[in-house]
Amino acid sequence: MIRIGRKLILALLLAFNVMAAEEAETGTPGAQLTLDDLRTFTDVFNQVRKNFIEETDDQTLLNAAIRGMLSELDPHSSYMEADEFRQMDDSSRGRYSGIGVEVAIRNNKVFVDFVMKGGAADKAGIVSGDVITAINNRDLRGQDLPSAIDGLRGEPGSEVDITIEHQNGEVSTLTVVRDFVEVSSVYSRPVDRDYGYFQITHFTRKSADELLEQVDYMQRKHEGPLKGVVLDLRNNPGGVLSPAIAIADAFLKGGFIVYTRGRTENQLEYTAKPGQVLEGVPMVVLVDRSTASASEVLAGALQDHGRALIVGETTFGKGSVQSVLNLRNGSGMRLTTARYYTPSGRSIQAEGIRPDVEIATVEVVENGDKRKREADLDRHLISETGKSNVNFGSEVSAADDYMMYQALILLKGASILSAENY
């Protein structure tokens, strides 16, 4: 015990002496820890190691100490062990290692809802509708969905035994080799023929390329220019910042996109280059209270430049910058190093982006009004042919998606005014 404590003290003393020397060279002020401070740390370490109710190895305790140090700083600084760090890197690349299925829990069973064509599960013969009853002989009955998903994921090339109950009642155990599964972050579709809908679920390194490819495809397939575009950032927690910057750059002609301010002098400023995608096409950006981080940066830039109308709820307000740092043992850390500011100088942190048109998330009940109109009456006179008003009807139901329904109304109003039909 004493030997371990002395090693820790010597290691920590060396580390803090190095830091003190660096602070002296740079002029950075810092409170120096004393030998007694370091001894307190090793006392706690040894007491936990010796007396905690369950035996715990030294590496686990050291990792817990590092996690505790970072978690006390703010909600977003964190320590990632090597496996966590690799998973985070894979997620930023828009991929994960698994078997290529989407699962859902119904009636306390884990159903396979979707099988990716050509993926590991597809090659093993798993089909939609199968029920996964066990993973590596661990019964899944009563397990929650995250536990089931965690069991399916693992290192690419690793094997996992999956017990399947097929739709015909047969049960078999299949050995599946995990592989990388590519995950799209952008989904799009034409709406009401002349309007484009683009949803970004989260930001990966590929998000900007995905969005611009889908915008280009929709424009080429549409007869004439689109009359309006909805960019849906609801429930987007953020992710990699660079694609959000690239998307803002694509929609803006120039000017600031975002800048950061922190303790160090090396702060970042991002500026849009000349040239614009969908120039002159009205745009609505949908946001809600779960719109966070990089998605707030994008919404704030488009709002400040007047390029898009922001519609929905005030966003989450995560306006802090996390630097991702590689550590020598393959682990990594997120450290909050700065704050984001919109082009007009607004801080996003704890404030969020306030929408131009505030629309709460509501549940709409279809109108059950049975009252009749003239056209419902027997033997009503037929209307003479004449100029009719623009139809604001939509294939999007207000009951299904009220914010989207209102966004289309706003875009159609903008289209009418720009065409001088008033």
Angle (CA) 256-262-268 rounded to 5° is 35
Q: Which among 128, 190, 123 is positioned nearest to 164, based on CA atoms?
A: 128
Given the residues 77, 78, 188, 293, the one annotated as active site: 293
> What are the Cα distances from residue 244, in Å, to 133, 158, 208, 300, 320?
40, 34, 7, 11, 15
- Indicate which residue of 249, 304, 331, 415 is catalytic: 304
Catalytic one of 295, 318, 412, 415? 318
Q: Respond yes or no: is residue 50 known to be catalytic.
A: no
The amino acid at 298: L
Please say if 318 is a catalytic residue. Answer: yes
Dihedral angle at the C-alpha atoms of 328, 333, 337, 339, nearest 10 degrees? 150
How far CA 184 is from CA of 188, 189, 401, in Å, comes to: 11, 14, 22
CA atoms of 87 and 53, how far apart (whole Å): 31
Count of helices and strands (H, E) across the chain: 10, 19
Do residues 229 and 278 make contact, with C-beta atoms less than 8 angstroms apart?
A: yes
Say how many CA atoms lie within 13 Å of 289 toward its Cβ. 3
Q: Are strands 228-232 and 283-287 parallel, antiparallel or unpaired?
A: parallel
Give the span between the Cα atoms of 305 and 266, in whole angstroms: 25
Alpha helices (H) in 27-81, listed in sequence order: 35-51, 58-71
* Bridge pairing between strands 131-135 and 159-165: antiparallel
Whether 273 sits among the annotated catalytic residues: the reply is no
Would you say the C-alpha torsion 216, 221, 227, 228 has a positive or negative sign?
negative
Q: Which residues are catalytic?
A: 293, 304, 318
